[in-house]
Structure 1
Amino acid sequence: MRDYEQETAFLGEWGPFQRTIFFLLSASIIPNGFNGLSAVFLSATPEHRCLVPAGVNLSAAWRNASLPWESLPDGTLAESRCHRYRLALIRNFSARGLSPGVDVDLGELPQEPCLDGWSYSTDLYHSTIVTEWNLVCENDWKGPLTSSLFFVGVLIGSFVSGQMSDRFGRKLVLFSTMAVQTGFSFIQVFSSSWEMFSVLFLIVGMGQISNYVAAFILGAEILGKSVRIIYSTLGVCIFYAIGYMLLPLFAYFIRDWRMLLLALTAPGLLCIPLWWIIPESPRWLISQGRIEEAEIIIRKAAKQNGILAPATIFDPTEIQELDSHKQRAHNFLDLLKTYNIRTITFLSVFIWMIISVGYFGLSLNTPNLHGDPYLNCFLSAIVEVPAYVIAWLLLQTLPRRYTMASVLLLGGVVLLLIQLVPTDLYILSIMLVMLGKFGITAAFAMVYVYTSELYPTVVRNMGIGASSMASRLGSILSPYFVYLGAYDRFLPYILMGSLTVLMGILTLFLPETHGVPLPETIEQMLRLKGLKYKAAFHTTRLSRSSDPPKILSSTSL
């Protein structure tokens, strides 16, 4: 049997059928932008202070002096968030007519926790899960854990989604996981405890990534080669960024977390009609021996494009003959087989993990920046669009390792510079954060293509899968990088910046793949030679030297 793309070449590359698939599948990713970073506002921590009950008989002077002062991470002084002067004692002083700071030295007074709860500012948020269940002070670790549990769900979903998709089909998994994401988000609205909310958030994370991966694969398998690369690097990513941009818009007008979550969940219902428009992957159907169903889809596509399909598209006898020639099965241990592939695997795993820490750490940290958190979140989202476009343009013409190392070094260095900016120049600090986000996002877009070109065909899916799993571990850790800002506001940027710079340097030790034929076997992989590029010894030529360079996206495998 000839190549699938040769068999379906009569459809063309960019007809009405392909445009419909491109835009509808890309649009189905928009809710992922909502859910993926909704914790930015759902679990935001507003300004708060210990509550002194209104019914307590205190003079105005003692009520104003009932809270000790503490130094915040930014160096300013504020009333304590987690302690108050012992209420029974100051009530006694008030009853005796003693004055704070005059008759009584406040520095000598014993303190106690916020036994009566907290008073939360409603200037930015009317309610969040933090104010709902008092996730502050001794319970402040629950906030970042909520986000981490979502990413644990993403880790689990990324592990099982590929297997489910291979077994049950791309379309069924796509819409089933959309239903999981939308359905469990809706149940979250009625959460009665933090524990219930967090467990449901984990399940939403499983649906969120499975939906994303299924749409990615389905589009890559239906669309032609020239459109597939644009779909993989621009279509899905930019529509995800559009959803991310709409998140602060929803949050700005809806300040209650339950109503906000309901508003973010509702657009998922708009994907229901897509079931009757988006077809199953013909490639997957052929792999399952369901050739007639695949032909029906191709004929409908030809009709939509105004093209007459040939009498016979796929020859069942040739497909059976092709299936009889199977290569030796490979496993994960093949990624550690030789020094060369082992080193590339370790480098790829660490690079993916740190890029993920930087991306999600900066995204989740936007409420902690100076200024309006809604505007900061929008800027963090909109900067991704030029990052994806520039990453795509750079991948077309420039060497991979130098390009990716450059954007990583850019992102890391500007994050390290933030600590040098004076406190009153907060606009400059925000600009540096966004520039860092730009560099890390561009690296995130590039690393998919670069990694897919490093590994040979026989283990390429496993190599990308291992790197992707490491990326999920990075996203799980990212909320705790943000959490460190409660102790020192520069610490998250120092850690993320230092690690990103390190990854940029390590990228230079990887082999260059631009303009080099893709390796088919482990022996044909490019050799790791530090900063010096050296091609691998090829026992057979993969292609003529005059062949054009191949650029492969991980989703086109």
Structure 2
Amino acid sequence: MFFVVGLGQISNYVAAFVLGTEILGPRVRTVFSTAGRESVLRRRLHAAAAVCVLSSGTGGSSSSASRCPASSTWLLWWYIPESPRWLLSQGRVEEAEDILRAAAKRNGIEPPPVIFAAVQRELQCERRKAHNICDLLRSGNIRWISLTLWLVWNTVAIAYFALSLNTANLHGDAYLNSFVSALVEMPAYMLSWAMFRWCSRRLSLFSTFFMGGVFLLFIKLIPEHMVHFAMTLEMLGKFAVTAAFAIVYAYTAEIYPTVVRNTALGACSMASRIGSVIAPYFIYLRSYSDSLPYILMGSLTALSGLLSLLLPESYGMPLPDTIAHMQHFPGCCRKKPYSLAHSEEKRNAAGRKSSVLL
């Protein structure tokens, strides 16, 4: 049952995230990709459900109880259109135009007679090529970007899930600690939205990663009798790591092109699942030293923040549609960055029309 739940939950989440990223306009996409990435209410309901189920003595599962509302989401299937960007990458121009015309009609906007004429010729060659997960490692540029992001995703998952699992070892009531640990995520997602809206992508990811690592490293310097101060630093570390997790999701979706965006985000999510599997063993290191898990997590998180500075910048850039449109990895494939200037302005004219229609 855990296998089935994991298969449906992770794959549906990644597909829904990519669909929302591709179909929404830039301003709405920022909110959707960061503040809307994860609901803190779900975690608080999970803690409340655990208290109710355990206190009732029925022997039920709080995890099953908290996932019951998810079965109703299939009703929304008919209300969500396909991604016009993905349809264009498959050469299905007419279907993409039909979706945009329907959106324009609902918004009271008169669409132009031809929407994607400028990009049809460019997609003729690209649509004939089948893309798969091997394309994430095929060329030097995308290979280094993929390897770097896999390491970053793995580290942020280790820190996030290890801190979440460690709430049972903190001083005080375990359920109250779990509630507080979930509560600090709410301002973290709001901060990630503000940083993603107005700040550089690389600096946003670096600052949240690095501050999270610093907070975790400072815990080992706190005297044993200052328990509450140490818990405050741990919650601040959880706050920074949560913001980094939200930013890396949205950042990854902006770096990869439409033709492999869903595959790339799924591969990064798979890398993070490896980190979530490793995370409990960091907590087990408490049997050797109480500060050892914080030293390792803090060091890995801070180093990953430095590693994220090697990634290309995507702030203010249009979403790439093909692998050739990706930004270059520093020190690899020195080519002109993908921008809106000169000839690219013509190619993105149709994209601006579609954003207005949506």
Please, what TM-score do these two structures have when normalized by structure 1? 0.51
1:403 Cα deviation after fit? 1.6
1:507 aligns with: 308
Question: Secondary structure of the residue that 1:282 maps to in structure 2?
Answer: coil
Using a 3 Å threshold, how does the CA distance of structure 1 residues 350 and 268 change in structure 2: closer, same or farther? closer
Q: Counterpart in 2 of 1:469?
A: 270
- Cα distance change on mapping 1:215 and 1:501 into 2, 3 Å: same
Deviation of 1:268 after TM superposition, in Å, equals 4.4
2:288 to 487, 495, 507: 487
**CA shift digits 1:477-504 (9 cap, x unpaired):** 1111122223322221111111101101
Contact 2:35 2:192 in 1 (8 A): no
The 2-side partners of 1:432 and 1:390 are apart by 18
Q: Is residue 497 from structure 1 mapped to residue 298 from structure 2 by the alignment?
A: yes
- Output the aligned Cα RMSD: 4.2
Cα distance, 1:467 vs. partner? 1.7
The answer for the alignment partner of 1:444 in structure 2 is: 245
Q: Which has the higher contact order (CA 8 A, sep 6+)?
A: 2
Mapping of residues 411-422 of structure 1, within 5 Å: 411-422=212-223
- The one-letter amino acid of 1:487's match is Y
Aligned to 1:516: 317
Distance 2:175 2:3 in 1: 25
Distance in 1 separating the partners of 2:98 and 2:343 = 32
CA distance in 2, matches of 1:454, 1:426: 42
Tell me which amino acid in the other structure corresponds to 2:327.
L
Q: Structure 1's 518 and 265: CA in aligned 2 closer, same or farther, altered over 3 A?
A: closer
Deviations 1:46-92 (A, max 9, x none): xxxxxxxxxxxxxxxxxxxxxxxxxxxxxxxxxxxxxxxxxxxxxxx
1:247 correspondence with 2:46: yes
The 1-side partners of 2:24 and 2:139 are apart by: 36
In structure 2, the partner of 1:332 is 133
CA drift at 1:534: 11
Q: Deviations over 1:192-249 (max 9, x none)?
A: xxxxxxxx43443333324434554565677666434423322342x2x211122223
Change (3 A) 1:279 1:517: closer
Q: 1:494 to 1:538 in 2, by over 3 A?
A: closer
The equivalent of 1:121 in structure 2 is none
Distance between the aligned counterparts of 1:411 and 1:443, measured in 2? 9
- Residue 276 of structure 1 deviates from its aligned partner by 4.7
Higher helix share: 2
Aligned partner of 1:282 in structure 2 is: 81
Matched with 1:24 is none
Distance, in Å, in 2 between the alignment partners of 1:284 and 1:520 is 12
SS of residue matched to 1:283: coil
How big is each residue's C-alpha offset from its partner over 1:420-444, in whole Å with a ceiling of 9 and x where there is no partner?
1111111011111111111111111
Distance verdict in 2 for CA 1:231–1:525, change over 3 Å: closer
Alpha-carbon distance between aligned partners in 2 of 1:541 and 1:364, rounded to the nearest angstrom:
51
For 1:323 and 1:340, the matched residues in 2 are separated by 21
Deviations 1:138-180 (A, max 9, x none): xxxxxxxxxxxxxxxxxxxxxxxxxxxxxxxxxxxxxxxxxxx
Pairwise CA distance, 1:333: 3.4
* Alignment match, 2:355: none
Distance 1:510 1:330 in 2: 23
Query: Which of 280-289 and 389-398 deviates more?
Result: 280-289
Match runs of 1:185-224 below 5 Å: 200-213=1-14, 215-216=16-17
Matched, 1:390 2:191: yes
How many residue pairs end up in the alignment? 333
Q: Does 1:543 align with 2:347?
A: no
Distance 1:381 1:260, change over 3 A: farther
Question: In 2, are the aligned partners of 1:358 and 1:500 still within 8 Å (CA)?
Answer: yes
Distance 1:314 1:276 in 2: 33
| In structure 1, C-alpha distance between the alignment counterparts of 2:9 and 2:58, rounded to whole Å | 20
Once residues 491 and 281 of structure 1 are traced to their aligned partners in structure 2, the CA distance between those partners, rounded to angstroms, is 47
Superimposed CA distance per residue, residues 322-375 of structure 1 (whole angstroms, 9 cap, x where no aligned partner)? 998724223433333343332222111100100011111111110011122112
Indicate how the Cα distance of structure 1 residues 221 and 281 shifts in structure 2: closer, same or farther if over 3 A, else same.
farther
Q: Is 1:265 aligned with 2:64? A: yes
1:218–1:281: 8 Å Cα contact kept in structure 2? no
Aligned counterparts, 1:62-461, within 5 A:
200-213=1-14, 215-216=16-17, 226-237=27-38, 239=39, 241-255=40-54, 259=58, 261-262=60-61, 264-266=63-65, 268-270=67-69, 275-276=74-75, 279=78, 281-283=80-82, 326-461=127-262
Q: Secondary structure at the match of 1:515?
A: coil
Q: Secondary structure, in 3 states, of the residue corresponding to 2:35?
A: helix
Q: Is the 8 A contact 1:353 1:471 kept in 2?
A: yes
% of aligned pairs identical? 44
CA spacing shift, 1:479–1:345, aligned 2, 3 Å: same
Alignment-mate amino acid for residue 488 of structure 1: S
Partner SS, residue 220 of structure 2: helix
Q: 1:422 to 1:408 in 2, by over 3 A?
A: same
Distance 1:220 1:425 in 2: 44
CA offsets, 1:431-481, max 9 Å, x none? Answer: 111111111111111112222333344433333232221111111111111
Contact persistence 1:518–1:542 (CA under 8 A): no
Give structure 1 stretches of 5+ with no counterpart: 1-199, 551-557
Where 2:260 maps in the other structure, the secondary structure is helix
Distance 2:62 2:265 in 1: 35
* 332 and 236 in structure 1: CA distance in 2 versus 1, 3 angstrom threshold: closer
Which residue number corresponds to residue 356 of structure 2?
A: none
Runs of 5+ unmatched residues, structure 2: 352-358
- Whole-Å separation in 1 of the counterparts to 2:136 and 2:71: 40
Please tell me whether the aligned partners of residues 257 and 320 of structure 2 are also in contact (alpha carbons under 8 angstroms). Answer: yes
Residues 261 and 417 of structure 1, relative CA distance in 2, 3 Å threshold: farther
Q: Which has the larger radius of gyration?
A: 1
What are the Cα deviations for residues 281-339 of structure 1, in whole angstroms up to 9, with x where unaligned?
332799699x99x989x98x999x7x7899xx999xxxx99998724223433333343
